[in-house]
């Protein structure tokens, strides 16, 4: 089945998602700041909807090539993760972040997201 | 209120003042420059990244709330290992309501016990999204910089200060 998630092609921010072996893999690149925010909000909304529709157990968010994320976009991730936690405390799906050790902001921000939802969020530092 | 710099403190190795137009797209350009400047003088990519986060969040707020006016950014970096100092200050025209809101938030964030309550702020940003932004909390919790603010009659100066680096090589 096809994912109903529109690809983001902003000038400095891009995002796309695919369904791979029972999980959704979303790949983000560029700078997530004010000019990218409305596109990111829409993308995350569709990502959540599609994760529910396909009943996936995991959503992988690849941030390896995200140079920076401002607090507004970070807040959108907090809201999205909160939604994934489920109303009865049982996570709807796991969220696995792929990060780069070279993007130093990711370590601190992703640690904060994991502290916010430790049962939902996991982090993997990858080398490419 | 802003902290005073000790008189025996070394002069900054580099500083700049930017008159920033009402164009949020400029903010990322400035963040990259500030980050690279710190990396050059402090030889510490992690510290430079923290300064970049603070510069971005402060300048973005200043541009956003300055109305039709420009925002000012004053930036300085002083190397010195454990005595290193980075100052990021923004000034923008602001309404009484905005000034009061920022003063309260800075006061709240600078209370020591709240430095460890970032998670509760993230939760508040979900339950009260219109009330809680994460820009200034992020400067304290993630960039680990001290915040200050000083209100004028119709403007506000917000500062973030980083003291010391993880590198002895600068």
**Span B67-73, average pLDDT:** 91
pLDDT confidence of residue B100: 93
ipTM score of the complex? Answer: 0.94
Q: Which residues of chain A have a CB within 8 Å of the CB of B35?
A: none
- The DSSP annotation for chain A comes to -----PPEE-SSEEEEEEEETTEEEEEEEEEESHHHHHHHHHHHHHHHHHHHHTT-SEEEEEEEEEEEE-HHHHHHHHHHHHHHT-TTS--SSEEEEEE-TT-HHHHHHHHHHHHH-TTTEEEEE---
Instruction: Supply B95's token pair.
Output: 């309404």
- Any idea what DSSP says for residue B24? T
pLDDT confidence of residue B1: 42
Considering only CB atoms, A75 lies closest to which of B28, B64, B125, namely B125
- Residue A102 confidence (pLDDT) above 90: yes
Residues in chain B whose Cβ is within 8 Å of chain A: 24-25, 27-28, 31, 45-46, 48-50, 52-53, 56-57, 60, 64, 118-119, 122-123, 125-126, 129, 133-135, 137-138, 141-143
pLDDT averaged over chain A? 95
**Span A23-27, average pLDDT:** 98
Cα A97 to Cα A46, A62, A107, A121, B50, distances in angstroms: 18, 6, 11, 7, 20
Cβ separation B24–A35 shorter than 8 A: yes
pLDDT digits (tens, 9 = 90+) for B108-161: 888 756 556 888 889 989 988 877 789 999 999 999 999 999 999 999 999 999
Contact A57, A94 (CB under 8 A): yes
Share of chain B above pLDDT 70, in %: 89
| Closest residue on chain B to A110 (Cα) | B142
Nearest Cα to A75, choosing from B121, B29, B64? Answer: B121
pLDDT digits (tens, 9 = 90+) for A48-83: 999 999 999 999 999 999 999 999 999 999 999 999
pTM of the model: 0.92
- Residue B9 confidence (pLDDT) above 70: no
Rounded CA gap, A25 and B128, in Å? 30
């Amino acid at each position: 089945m096809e994912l109903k998630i529109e690809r983001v092609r902003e000038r400095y921010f891009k995002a796309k998602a695919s369904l791979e072996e029972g999980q959704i893999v979303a790949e983000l690149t560029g700078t997530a700041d004010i000019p990218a925010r409305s596109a990111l909000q829409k993308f995350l909304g569709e990502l959540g909807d599609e994760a529910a529709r396909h009943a996936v157990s995991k959503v992988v968010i690849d941030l390896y090539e995200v140079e920076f994320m401002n607090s507004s976009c970070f807040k959108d991730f907090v809201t999205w993760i909160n939604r994934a936690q489920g109303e009865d405390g049982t996570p709807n799906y796991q969220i696995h972040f792929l990060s780069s050790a070279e993007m130093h902001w990711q370590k601190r921000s992703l640690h904060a997201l994991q502290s916010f939802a430790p049962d939902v969020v996991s982090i993997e530092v990858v080398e490419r | 209120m802003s902290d005073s710099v000790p008189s025996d403190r070394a002069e900054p190795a580099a500083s700049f003042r930017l008159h920033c137009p009402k164009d949020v797209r400029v903010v990322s350009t400035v963040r990259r420059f500030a980050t690279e400047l710190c990396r050059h003088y402090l030889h510490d990519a992690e510290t430079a990244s923290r300064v970049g986060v603070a510069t971005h969040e402060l300048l973005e707020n200043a541009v956003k709330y300055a109305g039709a006016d420009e925002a000012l950014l004053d930036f300085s970096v002083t190397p010195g290992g454990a005595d290193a100092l980075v100052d990021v200050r923004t000034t923008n025209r602001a309404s009484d309501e905005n000034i009061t809101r920022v003063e309260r938030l800075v006061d709240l964030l600078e209370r020591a016990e709240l430095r460890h309550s970032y998670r509760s702020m993230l939760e508040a940003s979900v339950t009260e999204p219109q009330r809680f932004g994460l820009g200034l909390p992020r400067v304290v919790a993630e960039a680990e910089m001290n915040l200050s603010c000083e209100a004028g009659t119709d403007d506000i100066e917000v500062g973030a200060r980083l003291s010391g680096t993880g590198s002895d090589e600068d």
